Amino acid sequence: MKREYAADTLKWNLTDLLTKEKDRATLDFLCECVDFLLKQPKPDAETGLAPCGCGGNAELCPVNDYYTARCERCRTTSDYYKTAGETIDAWNKALG
């Protein structure tokens, strides 16, 4: 299932449910929550890495002939990749 499909389905069902209950404020709030969750994190202009899910900044770490990305806050790491570009793409894809 794709995120956008899940979000649209959730919004449609919330709209159906809450319009019957005449609770427009709750509907608007829940739809805003769905939109917020769908926003892609913006990569850092210098590193190209998106922030970690915990909100921490990610850093690119060369290790021997490989690269990994690591969160400075929670220490989550990516797998090891041959190039920096592969590492950045994998890190950002995992968060999106």
Give tens-digit pLDDT for 15-27.
877 777 667 777 7
Beta strands (DSSP E) in 1-96 are 58-63, 66-71
**Whether pLDDT at 96 is above 60:** no
> Measuring CA to CA, how many Å separate 74 from each of 23, 55, 67, 93?
39, 9, 18, 18
Question: What is the reported pLDDT for 32?
Answer: 81
Burial-class residue 85 by CB neighbours within 10 Å (0-12, 13-18, 19+): exposed
Select the more confidently predicted residue: 51 or 95: 51
Give the other-Cβ count within 10 Å of 61's Cβ.
15
Cα distances (Å, whole numbers) of residue 57 to 9, 62, 66: 32, 16, 20
Q: Per-residue confidence at 50, pLDDT binned at 50, 70, 90? A: very high
